Amino acid sequence: MLRIHCPYCQELRDEPEFHYCGEAHLARPEDPAGCSDAEWGTYLYFRRNPRGRHHEMWYHAAGCRRFFNVVRDTVTYNIEQTYAMGAQPAHDEAHE
Ligand SMILES: [Zn+2]
């Protein structure tokens, strides 16, 4: 079982308290009506599925009920860091 540090509660808690919510840092198109069907479809349905380091959004459902971000390795399940929504990961040259 994963142990996840919630950046709001400032506690290391068990995974069943959380829900995985998909890829982090997805930017909604500024003008959705101006998007082509392909652009809108890409935004809605296409996600990265890397083998290795991944930026994810999680929800602390049985705790503070807030969303936050996690940098996790999808192979080893090692959690590198967690950080609040709206923030960027610390020491992260690979993240654009
Ligand atoms: Zn929390």
Average per-residue pLDDT for the chain:
94
Establish if 17 belongs to a structural domain.
yes
Establish if 96 belongs to a structural domain.
no
Number of folded domains in the chain? 1
Establish if 91 belongs to a structural domain.
no
* Contact call for residues 39 and 29 (beta carbons, < 8 A): yes
67 CA to centre of ligand 1 in angstroms = 8
Q: Is the pLDDT assigned to residue 35 strictly greater than 80?
A: yes
8 CA to centre of ligand 1 in angstroms = 5
Give the DSSP letter of residue 66. Answer: -
Q: Is the pLDDT assigned to residue 8 strictly greater than 80?
A: yes
91 pLDDT band, cuts 50/70/90, is: confident
Residue 70's domain comprises: 3-84
Q: Specify the residue for token string 């192979």.
A: 75
Establish if 38 belongs to a structural domain.
yes
- Integer-rounded Cα Rg, in Å, for the chain is 15
CATH number of domain containing 66:
3.30.2270.10
pLDDT of amino acid 67: 98
pLDDT of amino acid 95: 56
- The reported pTM is 0.87
* Contact call for residues 10 and 84 (beta carbons, < 8 A): no
- How many residues can be counted in the chain? 96
Q: Is 70 exposed, middle or buried (0-12, 13-18, 19+ CB in 10 A)?
A: buried
